[in-house]
Structure 1
Amino acid sequence: MLRSVKEIHNYVLQAEDGEIGRCKDLLFDDRFWTIRYMVADTGKWLPGRKVLLSPISLGEPDWSSRVFPIRLTKKRIEEAPGLDKDAPVSRQHEILWTQYYGWPYYWGGGPYAWGAVTYPGVLYDQILPENKTTEVDSGDDHLRSVHEVTGYHIQATDDEVGHVEDFIVDDETWIIRYMVVDTRNWLPGKKVLVPPTWIDSVDWTDNKVSVALTREQVKDSPEYDPSTVVNREYEVRLYDFYGRPKYW
């Protein structure tokens, strides 16, 4: 199902032997636009550390009570390679962290967002092959914070059209399917969805996302209502309006 990232924020994170904190942020890979880590606010439990949780370890959430089960013990999480709370997540750290849990790397080794598999949970019981390379690739700078990107300006082909308000993510594959664009800068109150595949470029320095759409196209596109679930009927209308190939 497609979920709002804002909805997931502040969910309780429940390890196998107790609560560890709440969801503070999500880190996504800007090459595949896929959520790679949930960042936990652990309060006083592990102060000064950035605690990362992979979708590989997430269980089936209880959406009504806003609880995400984590298929790990608190001790297992505590003993994972540490990272200062303000430090970026480098590929070197990802390698150490992934080897600690014994999971295959999500980068390389397959055609999908999660390597050889479509869903991250499938990797939970897999063992990292001994001959898996530990070479650092060019992925070091590709993890982005959802919290930081929220608010980026959206640049159409002919004018600015608004800003990033939210993200819509598939809660099985953890692929970001849409950016929620708030157009109130020039269309009061209207929100629309734009798939990451329609992005021309992202200027991470100037906080700007350029999309391959005109302002008029965005103006006339199907409106997104945050109070309703994004279903396939809406998605069909959206893609048909733009005349773009569907992802499914």
Structure 2
Amino acid sequence: MSENVWAYHATVDRITDVDLSGYKVEAVDGGIGKVDKHSDEAGSAWLVVDTGPWIFGKEVLLPAGTVSGIDVEEKRIRVGLTREQVKDAPEFVRDEHLGNPDYRQLLGGYYGIIPQRWL
């Protein structure tokens, strides 16, 4: 995927100073939800996506390295993942996992093994 799954790819036109909250998030095979929260911290960027009714209102944390494109005009973010990959990701519980280095390592391992073809 990338050397650092927590950093945006150089090919992603990341616009700074833009609040991504509310942006629609699309996997390669369909929508997965909307951005609820995000961090742009260098080398530690991520999105918390509320999947709504798609997977029973579950939230998922996606490292910035999973992002394949951002369309500011359409307020849409594309990720180089399938819906199944998002659904099968390690469970995210905001109060337990946000800022937890062990969870971050677990996610980095999961998303770090996604084949290049999804990007």
User: Common fold, TM-score beyond 0.5?
Assistant: yes
Q: Look up the SS of the partner of 1:145 in the other structure.
A: coil
Q: Partners in 2 of 1:242 and 1:189 — Cα distance?
A: 21
Using the size of structure 2 for normalisation, the TM-score is 0.72
Q: Look up the SS of the partner of 1:221 in the other structure.
A: coil
Aligned-partner residue type, residue 217 of structure 1: Q
Q: Do structure 1's residue 223 and structure 2's residue 91 form an aligned pair?
A: yes
Runs of 4+ in structure 1 displaced over 4 angstroms?
none
Q: Do structure 1's residue 236 and structure 2's residue 105 form an aligned pair?
A: yes
Higher relative contact order, structure no. (Cα contacts within 8 Å, ≥ 6 residues apart): 2
Q: Partners in 1 of 2:16 and 2:109 — Cα distance?
A: 31
How many residue pairs get matched? 101
Shift of 1:244: 3.7
Q: Look up the SS of the partner of 1:143 in the other structure.
A: coil
Shift of 1:168: 3.8
Contact 1:199 1:209 survives alignment (8 Å): yes
Q: Do structure 1's residue 143 and structure 2's residue 16 form an aligned pair?
A: yes
Contact 1:165 1:179 survives alignment (8 Å): yes
Shift of 1:144: 3.0
Q: Do structure 1's residue 195 and structure 2's residue 68 form an aligned pair?
A: no
Q: Partners in 2 of 1:142 and 1:194 — Cα distance?
A: 18
Residue by residue over 1:139-193, the C-alpha shift from the partner in whole angstroms, topping out at 9 and shown as x without a partner, is xx933332xx201000100010011010146xxxx43521101111411221111
Using the size of structure 1 for normalisation, the TM-score is 0.37
Q: Partners in 1 of 2:53 and 2:17 — Cα distance?
A: 25
Among 13, 35, 47, the alignment partner of 1:164 is 35
Contact 1:193 1:224 survives alignment (8 Å): yes
In structure 2, the gaps of 5 or more residues are 1-6, 9-13, 115-119
Higher Rg of the two aligned structures: 1
Aligned-partner residue type, residue 201 of structure 1: G
Identity %: 33
Tell me which moved more, 223-232 or 152-161: 223-232
